[in-house]
Amino acid sequence: MRVVALVPGGIGDQILFFPTLDDLKQTYPTAEIDVVVEPRAKGAYRVCKSVEDVIAFDFKDRNSPADWANLLGVMRDRSYDIALSLGQRAGVGLLLWLTGIPTRISYSGSSGQFFLTNPVPLKPEQYAAEMYHDLLKGLNINTPCPELAIAIPRQDLDWAEAEQKRLGISGNGYVLIHGGSSRLAQIKGIDKIYPIANWQQIIQNFQTRQPDLPLVMVQGPEDQDLVTALTQLCPALKVTRPTDVGKLAAMIAGANLMLCTDSAPMHLAVALKVYTLALFGPTNPDRLLPKSEKFLGIKSPTGKMADIPPQTVLAKVWGE
Q: pLDDT tens-digit profile of 56-112? A: 998 877 778 888 999 999 999 999 999 999 987 788 889 999 999 999 999 998 777
Cross-strand pairs, 131: none
pTM, two decimals, is: 0.94
Query: Check: CATH 3.40.50.300 for 2-139?
Result: no
Residue 271 has pLDDT above 80, yes or no: yes
From CA 126, how far away is CA 7, in angstroms rounded? 18
pLDDT at 87: 83
Lowest mean pLDDT among 180-184, 203-207, 292-296: 180-184
Q: Which helix (H) or strand (E) holds 187?
A: helix 183-188
Residue 184 has pLDDT above 60, yes or no: no
Share of the chain above pLDDT 90, in %: 83
Query: What is the Cα 239 distance to its own chain's centre?
Result: 21
pLDDT at 266: 97
pLDDT band (50, 70, 90) for residue 188: low
Residue 48 has pLDDT above 90, yes or no: yes
Query: Any residues with CB less than 8 A from the CB of 138 and at least 6 apart, and which?
Result: 84, 103, 105, 118, 119, 120
CATH of domain 154-318: 3.40.50.2000
Lowest mean pLDDT among 46-50, 86-90, 137-141, 230-234: 86-90
pLDDT at 155: 98
From CA 42, how far away is CA 313, in angstroms rounded? 33
From CA 294, how far away is CA 184, in angstroms rounded? 28
What distances in angstroms separate CA 49 from CA 11, 27, 151, 261, 291, one per listed residue?
A: 15, 14, 6, 26, 24
**Average pLDDT, integer, range 12-30:** 97
Per the prediction, the chain carries an average pLDDT of: 93
**Average pLDDT, integer, range 160-177:** 93
Q: What ranges do the domains of the chain cover?
A: 2-139, 154-318
pLDDT at 92: 87
Same fold, 2-139 and 154-318: yes
